[in-house]
C-alpha cells in the first residue's frame, strides 16, 4: 500500500514559533497558499484520513477538495500543555520548560503529553487507520509534524531520528503491513527542540 503523509499548511503560530499543539489555530494565508500549490500534483487517494484539528482539515480540503475526510481523533498534534501559546523565549526561565529541554523533549509537560505518551497514542491510531484501508492502493493522511515524526520513528525503517517535516511537503511511503519505507528525503532533523506544530 502507498501512503502519503502530509503536514498541514502553515499557521500564524508556526510562523511566530509559538508552541501550538492541540490549540486549534487556523491556516494563515501562506498556509492556504502552500496547500493550493500542491493541489492537483498528487494522485487522488482511495481513502483520506485527517486529524480533527482545523488546520489539518482545512489543508486536506484544499489539496483534495472532492475526497471525503475520515477523521481519526488520535491523530491530533502533541499536547504541549502549559507550553502552548508561548515561544521558547517566553519559557526560558520556566523550571518545567528547562527540565523538558534538558530531557531532550522526552520529559513530562505539565498539563500535556510526554513524547512517549504521544507516540503511544499516535502509533495505534495510524495502524487503525490503515486497517480500515486494507483494500486500498493509496492512502493519504493529513496531520501534524509531531504525529508524522511519531509514525516514522515507530514504523519507518529508513527515517532519521526526530525528522522535521515541512508544511505541505508530501512524504511518500510504502506500507508492507508492519513497516513503512520512506521514499521522500528530509531537509533536516529537529534535534531536541521540536517545532511548534
Please report whether residue 189 resides in a domain. Answer: no
For residue 163, the domain's CATH number is: 3.40.50.1240
Residue 197 is predicted with a pLDDT of 45
Catalytic residue chosen out of the listed positions 10, 77, 113, 197: 77
Residue 186 is predicted with a pLDDT of 58
Please report whether residue 86 resides in a domain. Answer: yes
Please report whether residue 64 resides in a domain. Answer: yes
Domain that holds residue 109: 2-182
Three-class SS of residue 56? helix
Three-class SS of residue 156? strand
The total number of structural domains in the chain stands at 1
In angstroms, the CA 3 to CA 185 distance is 15
Residue 185 is predicted with a pLDDT of 67
Give the global pTM.
0.93
Residue 167 is predicted with a pLDDT of 95
User: Between 145-155 and 115-132, two packed helices, what is the crossing angle to 10 degrees?
Assistant: 80
Please report whether residue 159 resides in a domain. Answer: yes
| Residue 183 a catalytic site member | no
Query: What are the pLDDT digits (tens) for 77-88?
Result: 999 999 999 999
Partners of 154 in beta bridges: none
Please report whether residue 188 resides in a domain. Answer: no
Residue 195 is predicted with a pLDDT of 44
H-helix or E-strand spanning residue 151: helix 145-155
Residue 163 is predicted with a pLDDT of 78
| Residue 86 a catalytic site member | no
Residue 160 is predicted with a pLDDT of 78
Reference 27, options 44, 13, 45; nearest CA is 13
Residue 20 is predicted with a pLDDT of 96
Please report whether residue 193 resides in a domain. Answer: no
Query: What are the pLDDT digits (tens) for 109-121?
Result: 999 999 999 999 9
Cβ-contact 61, 152 below 8 angstroms:
no
Please report whether residue 81 resides in a domain. Answer: yes
Please report whether residue 174 resides in a domain. Answer: yes
Q: Which residues of the chain have pLDDT under 50?
A: 187-188, 190-197
DSSP per residue, 80-136: -GGGTT--HHHHTT-HHHHHHHHTTT-S--TTS--HHHHHHHHHHHHHHHHHHTTT-
In angstroms, the CA 21 to CA 144 distance is 9
Amino acid at each position: 500500500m502507498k501512503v502519503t503523509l502530509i503536514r498541514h499548511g502553515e499557521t500564524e503560530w508556526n510562523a511566530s514559533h509559538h508552541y501550538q499543539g492541540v490549540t486549534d489555530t487556523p491556516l494563515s494565508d501562506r498556509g492556504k497558499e502552500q496547500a493550493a500549490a500542491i493541489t492537483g500534483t498528487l494522485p487522488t487517494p482511495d481513502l483520506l484520513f485527517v486529524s480533527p484539528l482545523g488546520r489539518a482539515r482545512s489543508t486536506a480540503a484544499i489539496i483534495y477538495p472532492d475526497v471525503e475526510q475520515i477523521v481519526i481523533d488520535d491523530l491530533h498534534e502533541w499536547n504541549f500543555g502549559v507550553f502552548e501559546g508561548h515561544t521558547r523565549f517566553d519559557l526560558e526561565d520556566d523550571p518545567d520548560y528547562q527540565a523538558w529541554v534538558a530531557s531532550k523533549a522526552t520529559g513530562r509537560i505539565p498539563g500535556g503529553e510526554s513524547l512517549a505518551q504521544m507516540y503511544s497514542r499516535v502509533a495505534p491510531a495510524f495502524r487503525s487507520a490503515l486497517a480500515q484501508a486494507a483494500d486500498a492502493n493509496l492512502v493519504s493522511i493529513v496531520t501534524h509534524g509531531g504525529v508524522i515524526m511519531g509514525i516514522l520513528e515507530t514504523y519507518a525503517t529508513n527515517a532519521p531520528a526526530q525528522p522535521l517535516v515541512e508544511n505541505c511537503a508530501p512524504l511518500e511511503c510504502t506500507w508492507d503491513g508492519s513497516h513503512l519505507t520512506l521514499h521522500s528525503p528530509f531537509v533536516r532533523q529537529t534535534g531536541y527542540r521540536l517545532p511548534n506544530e
